[in-house]
A and B are shown apart, each in its own frame.
Chain A
Amino acid sequence: MDRNEVLGIAKLARLKFEDKELDSIEKDMGQIIDWIDILQQADVSSLEENSSDIEAGLRVREDIVKISGLSKELIRNAKEPYESFFTVPKVVD
Chain B
Amino acid sequence: MSKLTDLTIKELNIGYDKKEFKASEVTEAYLKNIDENSNLNAYITVTADEALVQSKLSDERIGKGCRLSQMDGVPIGVKDLFCTKDIRTTAASHILDDFVPPYESTVTSNLLNAGSIFLGKTNLDEFAMGGANLTSYFGEAINPIKRATDGKEVVTGGSSGGSAASVAGGLAAGSLGTDTGGSIRQPAAFTGIVGLKPTYGRCSRYGIIAYASSLDQAGPMCKTVEDTAIMLNHMAGFDEKDSTSVDIAVPDFTQGICDGVKGMKIGIPKELLNESIDKDIEASWKDKAVRILKDAGAEIVEISLPNLKYALATYYILAPAEASSNLARYDGVRFGLRVDGDSLDDMYLNTRTAGFGEEVKRRIMVGTYVLSAGYYDAYYLKALKVQKLIRQDYLNVFKDIDLVMTPTTPMPAFTVEESKNFDPITMYLQDIFTVPINLAKLPAISVPISLSSTDKLPIGIQLIGRDFDESTILKAAKVIEGAK
Task: Please tell me if B316 contacts chain A, counting CB pairs below 8 Å.
Answer: yes
A: number of interface residues (CB 8 Å)? 44
> Which of B335, B361, B425 is in CB contact (< 8 Å) with A32?
B425
Task: Please tell me if B269 contacts chain A, counting CB pairs below 8 Å.
Answer: no
- Top 6 A-B residue pairs of the complex, sorted by shortest distance between their CB atoms: A73-B102, A77-B335, A79-B338, A44-B385, A36-B313, A13-B368
Residues of chain A within 8 A (CB-CB) of B353 are 15-17
Which residue on A lies nearest to B364, using beta carbons? A13
- Asked whether, in the complex, the Cβ of B424 is within 8 Å of the Cβ of A56, the reply is no
Asked, given contacts A88-B347, A89-B344, whether A47 binds B388 with beta carbons under 8 Å apart, the answer is yes
Give chain B interface residues in 307-324, CB to chain A under 8 Å. Answer: 307, 309-310, 313-314, 316-317, 324
A-B contact sample (7 more), CB < 8 A, given A33-B369, A38-B309: A13-B324, A25-B362, A35-B316, A38-B310, A42-B382, A79-B337, A88-B344
- Asked whether, in the complex, the Cβ of B386 is within 8 Å of the Cβ of A42, the reply is yes
User: Chain A binding site: helix, strand, loop or mixed by DSSP?
Assistant: loop
Shortest beta-carbon distance from B234 to chain A in Å: 23
B: number of interface residues (CB 8 Å)? 63
Task: Please tell me if B278 contacts chain A, counting CB pairs below 8 Å.
Answer: no
Show the binding face of A for B, using Cβ within 8 Å: 6, 9-10, 12-17, 25, 28-29, 31-33, 35-42, 44, 46-47, 51, 53, 56, 58-59, 61, 70, 73-74, 76-80, 86, 88-89, 91
Residues of chain B within 8 A (CB-CB) of A9 are 365, 368-369, 372
Which residue on B lies nearest to A70, using beta carbons? B102
Asked, given contacts A13-B324, A13-B364, A31-B425, whether A39 binds B313 with beta carbons under 8 Å apart, the answer is yes
- Asked whether, in the complex, the Cβ of A89 is within 8 Å of the Cβ of B372, the reply is no
Which residue on A lies nearest to B388, using beta carbons? A47
- Asked whether, in the complex, the Cβ of B344 is within 8 Å of the Cβ of A12, the reply is no
Shortest beta-carbon distance from A36 to chain B in Å: 4
Which residue on B lies nearest to A5, using beta carbons? B369
- Asked whether, in the complex, the Cβ of A12 is within 8 Å of the Cβ of B313, the reply is no
- Asked whether, in the complex, the Cβ of B102 is within 8 Å of the Cβ of A76, the reply is yes
- Asked whether, in the complex, the Cβ of A77 is within 8 Å of the Cβ of B334, the reply is yes
- Asked whether, in the complex, the Cβ of B389 is within 8 Å of the Cβ of A47, the reply is yes
- Asked whether, in the complex, the Cβ of A10 is within 8 Å of the Cβ of B344, the reply is no
- Asked whether, in the complex, the Cβ of A15 is within 8 Å of the Cβ of B349, the reply is yes
Asked, given contacts A31-B423, A40-B378, whether A78 binds B334 with beta carbons under 8 Å apart, the answer is yes
- Asked whether, in the complex, the Cβ of B369 is within 8 Å of the Cβ of A29, the reply is yes
Shortest beta-carbon distance from A75 to chain B in Å: 8
Give chain B interface residues in 335-389, CB to chain A under 8 Å. Answer: 335-338, 340-350, 352-353, 356, 361-362, 364-366, 368-370, 372, 378-379, 382-389
